[in-house]
Amino acid sequence: MMRILKYGETPNSEIFARAPLKTDVAGTVSAIIAEVRKGGDAALRAYTRKFDHADLMDLAVTDAEIEEAMSQIDPEFIQILQEAAGNIRKFHEKQVRSSFIINDTDGIAMGQKVIPMERVGLYVPGGTAAYPSTVLMDAIPAKIAGCPEIVMTTPPGRDGKLNPAIISAAQVAGIDRIYKVGGAQAIAALAYGTETIPRVDKIVGPGNAYVAEAKRQVYGQVSIDMIAGPSEILIVADEGMQPDILAADLLSQAEHDKMASAVLVTDSMRLAEQVQAEIEKQIPLLDRREIARASIDDNGKIIVTDTIEQAIEAANEIAPEHLELALAQPFDWLDQVKHAGSVFMGYNCPEALGDYLAGPNHTLPTSGTARFSSPLSVDDFVKKTQFTYFTRQALSRVAQDIAYFARQEGLTGHARSAVIRTEEEK
């Protein structure tokens, strides 16, 4: 049963506690990465047999496989994917940065070039659930950024095939190449390259503890989006919100994973007790009831505060991945939200809306990293290069200042490089 904790009476260590992350996989992941670097495709096929129980000859998805998968998809689902993709594009196109140049002083020009990454790799989980929504959310910003090539890896089923919904989403998103590889071995292949899978500049996408650890270990060899932890939802609610709806929203995250976190913060003990009871009614209705049960029992909590202002303070301290402001006047409180991945406003905005259709990205900072991290965006797929140009006359105006500054740091070579172009060093 979901615990009810009184804010101010329960120790902060319990109020703000998160599920411990699985940390005993580093050695296993390190060995997998080393084996993939050494063995290439042969290692990938061996790990696919071991972990996915699929015996593959070819790792790359063929055009025939794509056609077969697309023929199995309901046209209505394709239409929904296209609608979602359109919303995602509309939102992310507003994030595009432009190069700029400043030349408002005689003889000086400086600026910044915004350059898309040449090749990015998208990891899409398999296992207990398949997420075509992740394909759209992670690939479309890269396309908008102008990345010339996007490749995707995702684990196959025992029959060696991919989920048709994943392939259809990849087609809608415009992914260039798809590979049937999962787990830490897929991350290693994307980071270092194999005979079949090309090395990429950045890896994005969520995964289990092994995938997260692999991303951590290859960071520096390639860029990554983030180290994703278990999914989280925190709802700040007032008495105007219906308890059955709150329970449904909390369970929408609890069904993700046994380690997922569902938290309600409210100023009403009556609402807290109603939601607690409603959770028990709704869990048996879920297909993934065992997962939701474990998540709620182990990581779920209801925090009762004296005021909504206190509830927002608690939410900022937790810094959740998803934050619902289930309040009568949510915009009155938005400015007080300092730490959250994505905010869902009012009584009619379930977090699931953001997962699939609204447009803002659903690849979000977890485990409290919303205190310093942002949702996936177009910015994640570009890099910036600066440039500077001075004429001799413009340099002569500042050469002595540069030299003086350099000497304060004991760098006389720096000083000389500035003044030698304009006059004898003094």
Q: Which residues pair with residue 323 across a beta bridge?
A: 234, 343
Provide φ and ψ at 51, rounded to 5°: -95, -35
Q: Which residues are CB-neighbours of 223 under 8 A, at least 6 positions away? A: 117, 201, 202, 203
Return the H-helix or E-strand segment holding 303: strand 301-304
Fill in the DSSP letter of residue 258.
T
End-to-end CA distance of the chain: 79
Identify which of 18, 133, 125, 121 has the alpha carbon closest to the alpha carbon of residue 371: 18
CA 110 distance to own-chain centroid: 33
CA–CA distance, 260 with 270 (Å, rounded to integer): 25
Residue 194 near residue 41 (C-beta atoms within 8 A): yes
Return the H-helix or E-strand segment holding 111: strand 108-116
Please, how many CA atoms are within 13 Å of residue 291, restricted to the half-sphere of its CB?
A: 18
Please, how many CA atoms are within 13 Å of residue 197, restricted to the half-sphere of its CB?
A: 38
Burial 189-211 (b: 16+ CB within 10 A, else e): bbbbebebbeebbbbbbbbbbbb
Fill in the DSSP letter of residue 22.
P
Identify which of 350, 353, 380, 352 has the alpha carbon closest to the alpha carbon of residue 365: 380
Return the H-helix or E-strand segment holding 224: strand 223-224
CB atoms within 10 A of CB 214: 31
Residue 152 near residue 170 (C-beta atoms within 8 A): yes
Q: How far is CA 45 from CA 35, 84, 200, 210, in A?
A: 12, 34, 20, 18
CA 394 distance to own-chain centroid: 45
Looking at the annotation, which residues are catalytic?
321-322
Identify which of 196, 115, 86 has the alpha carbon closest to the alpha carbon of residue 151: 196
Do the bridges between strand 382-390 and strand 108-116 make them parallel or antiparallel, or are there none, so unpaired?
antiparallel
